[in-house]
Structure 1
Amino acid sequence: MRKHTSPRRQVRLLALVAGAALALTACSAGSLGSSGGDGDGVSLTFLVDSNESNLAAAESAAAAFTALHPDLTVEVEGRPGGSEGDNIVKTRLATGDMPDVFLYNSGSLFQAIGPVQNLVPVSDQPWVADLETNFKDVVTAEGQVYGAPFGPQMTGAVLYNKRVYADLGLEIPRTWEAFMANNAAVAAAGLTPVIQTYGDTYTSQLFVLGDFHNVSSAEPDFAQRYTAGEAKYATSPAALEGWQHLQELHDAGYYNEDFPTAKLEDGLRQLGAGEGAHYPMLSNALAVLALTSPEGAQDVGIFPIPGDDPATNGLTVWSPSGVYVPKTTEGAQLDAARQFQAFLASPEGCAAQAEGATPTGPYAVNGCELPDDVLPATHDFQSYIDAGAFSPALEFLSPIKGPALEQITVEVGSGIRPAADGAALYDEDVRKQALQLGLEGWE
């Protein structure tokens, strides 16, 4: 059922920088996708944001679905990403012009498109029982589930060079103290302990955002109190640590010399070549690594950002986007759209997506297995999911994420602003956004 990834198909993974940045910032451009099959009966239009990997996975899934249902055709239509794409989705829903089925964010942005008013619920569908719990939660509104997952889950963690670790006799650190000891050993060997790439400013956020599993382990109600205006980064000892880690690593001189101007591809090249040992990054950057350093990618693994307690160490995970059906889809179109959602939320649907774009993380459907030829780091990611050692990212538990975060983390990581001042400044950035959203408990 699953075929191995060919070099030609790996080239189609070009989510590249846009794909990695999209999870933390809004930036991409769109184009029209292509046909999913030649069915003679009902024809569905599937609207997706047009980064290369999403289009490739959508086209592959559409073709596989039509092969199973020759009387149904799925046409893949691309749209821009980022804020332009958000406006297109909201406008088409508001005007009743949304295609039969569409791909959009889960979590807080999903809540912003009025799911109860605009979408067809799927809670009564049998496949919902096979959805990963966190994903189910982030596509639920007023007790009803609305989406099928599309694409793999993603984590913000530490990519590390396994060859460097083997050469230096290092073990995966489960505490920050052990991580810093490893960094000291790497520096003594003449290599870069921690790669940073502030030429792409969004990459500076990982020590804060990827640390949320540690925050929620120490303060399980942090997300709720944060949304209510009660918990702050500057006053929560657990939440402040991510900022302190940024400053500590800079002050120790553990970053690469070119960190102020280096970009994602530079950091991945250094990691793959073994010039540096660690690179805190989003797991979907593995697709870029496979292209920029195919051999080096085989030496790269992944582990969670270390915290204080080895017993609770785990990954911070971003749920995949959802596939939704608008209420304007009716009759035979609605029946076909429901079948398409069920297909996507099945092992066959996951395999079809993987044929179009090799996954860089596990799927959010029970029974979906990764292809044999995924990168070692992707297998590492899966092992933490299997062990239950993970938590959803803060943005799936709260609607608040201040827009200036990446600029402030660049300042702290560059030694321009102390960690405590950076956290306090971000708290003010968050306050402004909470007021814009009209949340209760904020002044």
Structure 2
Amino acid sequence: MTIHIKAYLASAALIALTAITPAQAEVTLSFLIDNNPDTVAAAEALVEAYQKQAPDVTIEIEQRAGGGEGDNIIKTRLATGEMSDVFLYNSGSLLQALKPQQTLVDLSDVPAQAKVDQGFKSVVSADGKVYGVPFGTAMGGGIFYNRAIYQELGLSVPKTWAEFMANNEKIKAAGKVAVAQTYRDTWTSQLFVLADYYNLQAAVPNFAEDYTNNKAKYATTPAAMKGFEHLKEVHDAGLFNEDFGAASYDDGLRMVATGEAAHYPMLTFAIGALKQNYPENLADVGFFAQPGDDAAKNGLTVWMPPAIYIPAASQKIEEAKKFANFVSSVEGCKIMTDTNTVQGPPLIDGCPLPADVPPAVTDMLPYFKTQGLTAPALEFVSPIKGPALEQITVEIGSGIRGPAEAAALYDDDVRKQAKQLGLSNW
């Protein structure tokens, strides 16, 4: 009887102990992303892989609109404390508008940060703290070129603007369109100005800071004027397709892919569209940085990908940081490059490029392998980008307005934007 009582008591104690010892807690994280199909595909692949590693974690993906509507959603939800546990948003100057020191979690101590590109960290930082991890690869702003035309005419990739224009004259003399322009989609007209920023900062290292503080202007900075002047020069030389005013972005991609045009100034995010719409021509499209005045200082203006952030109001910060660490790991990076078309080099050290990347991506790699040959685009280092730039560049590229007048007009547009942002010194 005594033995039975002892066994019963031991069994009861074990049951009681089991009852008060909780199983590993299950956690549900919310993850807000934009509704771009590539974003959705990458996010779903990351979540699926992470949930296999952390079976007690469920991540629910929520989609939002892009553009201005998406910006308003982000700002409103942060302001009201209703932001998802993890969210995807722009890096660079748009991040600063979120006041990260007040609204976001410091991710400097996430272990995977040790392998994140320093240039990327610089555009998701404030007051020495890093608030984001990269979601996707870097992109370049420069010039796509048709490799078959270059081979046919015996041309070399230009390292200076003078060499670029000399190539254009040879292409024009051969009866071909030298430079595709596509002003039906007005945003495409900005590339000769925006992609020239590496050359601008190489000539005037403090331009971004002085520009933001109302101490430097496009119209009074000769190096900043170059992009406007280049656009006028290529127009005046008769290098464009005849229908440049009506042609679309898709037309520009078709022209450079099929050899209807030798060049198309564009961001390398277009590689995805090229792969989808002109897969048989993808190997004929190369890429180079917009050349400046000095071949020894030939470098690339870089557009950084968006980042993963965690709101300070989240109740699940530690679990969210573990997911952010996975996204920015070599494994997470590889999942993204395997899921979507690679638009440029990964920003995670040790993350391999797929073996079948197109030549336009391979052409970007040398710029990233040498310190100092890349610079983030101005919009990543200054909060000011006047909204009228694309209309102004259409006018220059159409011969309607000259560079000096256009630069002064843009400076005024920038002034209005700075006042709307409430920046000091304006």
Q: Do residues 130 (structure 1) and 138 (structure 2) align?
A: no
Listed one character per residue, the Cα deviations across residues 64-115 of structure 1 (whole Å, up to 9, x for unaligned) are 1112222222222110011111111111111111111000111111111121
Task: List runs of 5+ in structure 2 lacking aligned partners.
Answer: 1-23
**Which residue of structure 2 aligns with residue 26 of structure 1?**
none
* Residue type of the alignment partner of 1:374: V
Structure 1 runs of 4+ aligned residues shifted over 6 Å read none
What is the distance in 1 between the residues matched to 2:297 and 2:106?
Answer: 35
Matched with 2:367 is: 384
Contact persistence 2:328–2:348 (CA under 8 A)? yes
Picking from 344, 356, 379, the partner of 1:361 is 344
Query: Partners of 1:255 and 1:80 in 2: how far apart?
Result: 35
Note the 1:42-441 alignment, pairs <5 A: 42-330=27-315, 333-388=316-371, 389-441=373-425
- d(CA) in 2 for partners of 1:350 and 1:124? 19
Answer whether contact 1:131 1:345 (CA < 8 A) is retained: yes
CA distance in 2, matches of 1:438, 1:286: 37
When the two structures are aligned, how many residues end up with a matched partner? 402
- Structure (1 or 2) with the larger CA radius of gyration: 2
How far is 1:295 from its partner?
1.4
Counterpart-to-counterpart distance in 2, 1:81 and 1:217: 33
Cα distance in 2, alignment partners of residues 334 and 392 from structure 1: 30
Q: Which moved more, 1:410-419 or 1:221-230?
A: 221-230
Structure 1 CA distance for aligned equivalents of residues 319 and 420 of structure 2: 39
- 1:373 Cα deviation after fit: 1.7
Instruction: Look up the match of 1:12.
Output: none
Q: Report the residue type matching 2:405 in the other structure.
A: D
What CA deviation, in whole Å up to 9, does each residue of 1:248-305 have, x standing for no partner? 1111100011110111110111111111111000100111111121111111111010
Residue in structure 2 matched with residue 8 of structure 1 by the alignment: none
Residues 338 and 354 in structure 2, CA contact (< 8 A), matched pair in contact too: no
What is the alpha-carbon distance in structure 1 between the residues aligned to residue 143 and residue 128 of structure 2? 35
DSSP-derived class of the 2:363 partner: helix
Stretch of structure 1 that moved more, 310-319 or 367-376: 367-376
Q: Which moved more, 1:61-70 or 1:94-103?
A: 61-70
In structure 2, what is the Cα distance between the partners aligned to 1:337 and 1:124? 13
Amino acid at match of 2:381: L
Q: Secondary structure of the residue that 1:170 maps to in structure 2?
A: coil
Q: Taking structure 1 as reference, are residues 355 and 41 closer, same or farther at Cα in structure 2, changes over 3 Å only? A: farther
RMSD of equivalent CA atoms: 1.3
CA separation in 2, counterparts of 1:45 and 1:367?
Answer: 29
Superposition deviation, residue 129 in structure 1: 2.1
The question of whether the paired residues in 1 share the 8 Å contact of 2:271 and 2:341 is answered with no
Q: Is the 8 A contact 2:138 2:304 kept in 1?
A: yes
Q: What is the CA distance between 1:335 and its match in structure 2?
A: 2.4
Q: Secondary structure at the match of 1:298?
A: helix
* Contact in 2 for aligned 1:192/1:275 (Cα 8 Å): yes
Counterpart Cα distance in 2 of 1:189 and 1:63: 53
Give the SS at the match of 1:426.
Answer: helix
One-letter amino acid of the structure 1 residue matched with residue 406 of structure 2: G
Q: Give yes or no for contact 1:317–1:391 (8 Å, CA) kept in 2.
A: yes
Deviations 1:138-169 (A, max 9, x none): 11122211111101111110001111111110
The question of whether the paired residues in 2 share the 8 Å contact of 1:59 and 1:356 is answered with no
Q: In the TM superposition, what whole-angstrom CA distance separates every residue of 1:280-332 from its partner, at most 9, and x where no partner exists? A: 001001111111211111111110101101011111001111101112222xx
Deviation, 1:365, is: 1.6
* Other structure's SS at 2:364 match: helix
Q: Distance in 2 between matches of 1:305 and 1:90?
A: 35
The secondary structure found in structure 2 opposite 1:428 is: helix
The 10-residue stretch of structure 1 (55-64 or 381-390) with the greater mean CA deviation from structure 2: 381-390
Cα deviation, residue 63, structure 1: 0.9
Q: Quote how far apart the aligned CAs of 1:387 are.
A: 2.3
Q: Name the amino acid aligned to 1:87.
A: N
Q: CA deviation at 1:40?
A: 9.3
